[in-house]
Amino acid sequence: MSKWAGKYVIGLTGNIGTGKSVVRRMLEHLGAYGIDADALSHRATAKGAPGYQPVVEAFGRWIVGENGEIDRARLGRLVFSDPEALRQLESIIHPLVEGAVDIIIRHASQKIVVVEAIKLIETNLRANCDAVWVVAVPPEVQLARLVQNRHMSEDDARARISSQPSQQVKMSLANQIIRNNGSYEETWRQVTTTAVT
């Protein structure tokens, strides 16, 4: 049961390239209020935001681009090849994101809220949700999507995929699993069937 009275909160997760955002938008279309925790983490580390200075102090000025913003590609190459660096970054960002999610849910007018978070299982967010949905695809589909849609090199894509917990772990903790490697219509069918049951 969620900690937000009067709200039904779906925690939506899955590894990179599985299509979580597609499923979140489908739920929004069905009337849920959607929160993108990844977007909140970007905002938390923007210049002038609470996470900016701690991240720069932790990793050095070399991660700051010419525009004064943190260069996410530079930071990503570091943290996705160094598990300790990733843990350090997450220890700065996760509390900020969790605080923002709490405020947004409390002020949402809709009764059903979906929180899309790649690190849902690994953070306090999971315990505060009424249900956990996991979006899953085969690893070869993840790789193809990252290379084709996000223009990552195959090496970078493999590093991102291998830096995350296995999909099996997430699926074992799910109330619902959405398999998103078929057509858009097939994913929509799974979402609508699950959402109304």
The answer to whether 18 and 146 are in contact (CB under 8 A) is no
Q: In which order are the strands placed within the sheet that holds 33-36?
A: 33-36, 112-116, 8-13, 131-136, 176-179
Residues of the chain predicted below pLDDT 50: none
Q: Could you read off the pLDDT of 51-104 as tens digits, one per residue?
A: 999 999 999 999 999 999 999 989 988 988 888 999 999 999 999 999 999 999
Task: Report the predicted TM-score, pTM, of the whole model to 2 decimal places.
Answer: 0.88
What confidence score (pLDDT) does residue 2 get?
62
pLDDT for 1: 53
pLDDT, position 77: 86
